[in-house]
């Protein structure tokens, strides 16, 4: 019996489908896990045995139908509590493209996990309960998305069936969200009435809402232009991770990951103090290369023997001038309150230097009552504008291209725990 013929055309189409990264966010019990389960189920991205297991578990619990949230909440602790506490990455596909989805927790104390999920996503699907509308956590997540440079946010007004598919309630929530998105500068926002439980407007168009003529959530996701990576459009940035030397030869290489831009053999590059040299070789795990771009992990060999160490930056012709003070916006990720004068370590690229919070200038008012509020310190999940000083000069530059440059961490000097994630605003010279 001969083997079945391979459809090479179909295989080629699958191999060249674009991939969109997205993230779900929202408050507790807004139905994020059920929403993700519905996406997986209705796009036929669930294995038969996995679905059968979920059906059995749903029946054992007396659930009327299939509890699709179980497709996402895989941890036993989450199942027992009925909440999501970790970032769960899921993969699904349609004929148009493939998707990588980060399902993030809703509890306010896990906002830091939400930051992680959003940091690599091009689109955020923000869920709200139609009975509650836009709440503080909704605005918090929208604020984080805006700060991280997410351009597209979809508000999925979930559980619309529990308010009798009311257009009046939906339009009120839509108006609140559009206002908040405009205030925060989100350039591309969409609002869709859905029922993740029943499947309305998630993948399939609902038959219950004649008053809504817009696209489903999936149709929006399929229509968004996939970013080619703004990091590629920036000037070359290569923080050194390791210096590789072979004592048996003259080999000296500088290993790391290209954070922005690209480089080719023969290019002139810039290092500390504005000194220039030329790239002679680009080595990779797959052998020698003539060029490399943002996201590639490589080893550079240079024309001149230069004393470089881990944390040094190799850049293109336009090199950021090192500074010791800068403004930043940070999201607090630890229980410990942060205040002016607090000593910290600053992780910028591969550099780790001592520093301190020079001042806490403003803490953002997530409730939206005011643009910002004054505070001497800030704590877990707060978003604040601060000034940072470092003990050694760093080639800091403003946040761009989703953290390709300009993102950093504040770390506890004693414990090594991460205290906050930050986005560089302005570089400041010594006063």
pLDDT in tens, 15-30: 557 889 999 888 877 8
Specify the pLDDT at position 88. 67
- What are the chain's domains? 16-223 (3.40.50.300), 231-315 (2.40.30.10), 323-428 (2.40.30.10)
Residue 177 CA to residue 368 CA, distance in Å, equals 12
Q: What angle do CA 378, 383, 384 make, to 5 degrees?
A: 65
Mean pLDDT within 107-134: 81
Specify the pLDDT at position 410. 94
* Helices 167-184 and 136-147: angle between axes, nearest 10 degrees: 40
Compare 143 and 53 and report the one with higher pLDDT: 143
Q: Among the listed ranges 25-29, 85-89, 381-385, which one has the minimum average pLDDT value?
A: 85-89
Compare 427 and 172 and report the one with higher pLDDT: 172
What does the pLDDT look like over 387-403, one tens digit per residue? 999 999 999 998 876 67
Mean pLDDT within 186-210: 94
What does the pLDDT look like over 167-177, one tens digit per residue? 999 999 999 99
Q: How high does pLDDT run on average in the chain?
A: 83
Question: Helix H segments across 109-255?
Answer: 111-119, 136-147, 167-184, 217-223
Residue 182 CA to residue 180 CA, distance in Å, equals 5
Specify the pLDDT at position 163. 97
pLDDT at 54 over 50: yes
From its phi and psi, is residue 129 left (phi > 0), alpha (psi between -120 and 50) or beta?
A: beta
pLDDT at 426 over 90: no
Compare 131 and 109 and report the one with higher pLDDT: 131
Collapsing DSSP to helix, strand or coil, 215 comes out as: coil
Residue 190 CA to residue 276 CA, distance in Å, equals 48
Collapsing DSSP to helix, strand or coil, 377 comes out as: strand
Residue 145 CA to residue 176 CA, distance in Å, equals 17
Residue 289 CA to residue 265 CA, distance in Å, equals 8
Mean pLDDT within 357-378: 74
Among the ranges 109-113, 211-215, 348-352, which has the highest mean pLDDT value?
211-215
End-to-end CA distance of the chain: 82
pLDDT at 34 over 90: no
Compare 214 and 184 and report the one with higher pLDDT: 214
Question: Helix H segments across 70-201?
Answer: 76-81, 111-119, 136-147, 167-184
What does the pLDDT look like over 228-247, one tens digit per residue? 556 777 889 999 999 998 87
From its phi and psi, is residue 183 left (phi > 0), alpha (psi between -120 and 50) or beta?
A: alpha
Q: By percentage, how much of the chain surpasses pLDDT 70? A: 80
403's CB contacts (< 8 A; 6+ apart) are 119, 148, 423
pLDDT at 192 over 90: yes
Confidence bin at 78 (pLDDT 50/70/90): very low
55's CB contacts (< 8 A; 6+ apart) are 66
Specify the pLDDT at position 76. 38
């Amino acid at each position: 019996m001969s083997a079945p013929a391979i459809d090479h055309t179909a295989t080629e189409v699958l191999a060249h489908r674009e991939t969109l990264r997205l993230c779900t966010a929202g408050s507790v019990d807004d139905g994020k896990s059920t929403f993700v389960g519905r996406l997986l189920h209705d796009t036929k991205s669930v294995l038969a045995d996995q679905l059968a297991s979920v059906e059995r578990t749903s029946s054992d619990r007396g659930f009327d139908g299939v509890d699709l949230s179980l497709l996402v909440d895989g941890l036993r602790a989450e199942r027992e509590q009925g909440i999501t506490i970790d970032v769960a990455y899921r993969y699904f596909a349609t004929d148009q493209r493939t998707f990588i989805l980060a399902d993030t927790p809703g509890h306010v104390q896990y906002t830091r996990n939400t930051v992680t999920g959003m940091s690599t996503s091009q689109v955020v699907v923000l869920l709200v309960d139609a009975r509650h509308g836009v709440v503080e956590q909704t605005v918090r997540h929208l604020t984080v998305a805006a700060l991280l440079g997410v351009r597209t946010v979809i508000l999925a007004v979930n559980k619309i069936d529990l308010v009798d598919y009311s257009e009046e309630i939906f339009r009120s929530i839509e108006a609140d969200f559009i206002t908040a998105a405009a205030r925060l500068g989100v350039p591309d926002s969409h609002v869709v009435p859905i029922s993740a439980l029943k499947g309305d407007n998630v993948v399939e168009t609902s038959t219950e809402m004649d008053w809504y003529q817009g696209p489903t959530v999936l149709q929006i996701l399929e229509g968004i232009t996939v970013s080619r990576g703004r990091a590629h459009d920036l000037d070359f940035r290569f923080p050194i991770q390791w210096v590789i030397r072979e004592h048996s030869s003259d080999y000296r290489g500088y290993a790391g990951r290209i954070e922005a831009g690209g480089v080719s053999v023969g290019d002139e590059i810039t290092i500390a103090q504005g000194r220039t040299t030329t790239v002679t070789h680009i080595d990779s795990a797959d052998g020698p290369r003539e060029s490399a771009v943002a996201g590639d992990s490589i080893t550079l060999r240079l024309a001149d023997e230069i004393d470089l160490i881990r944390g040094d930056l190799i850049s293109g012709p336009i090199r950021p001038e090192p500074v010791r003070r800068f403004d930043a916006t940070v999201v607090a990720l630890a229980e410990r309150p942060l205040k002016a004068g607090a000593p910290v370590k600053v992780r910028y690229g591969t550099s780790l230097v001592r520093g301190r919070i020079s001042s806490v200038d403003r803490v953002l008012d997530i409730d939206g009552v005011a643009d910002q509020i004054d505070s001497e310190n800030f704590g877990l999940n707060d978003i604040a504008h601060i000034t940072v000083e470092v003990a050694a000069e760093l080639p800091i530059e403003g946040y761009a291209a989703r953290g390709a440059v300009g993102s950093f961490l504040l770390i506890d000097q004693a414990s090594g725990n991460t205290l906050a994630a930050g986005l560089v605003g302005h570089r400041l010279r010594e006063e």
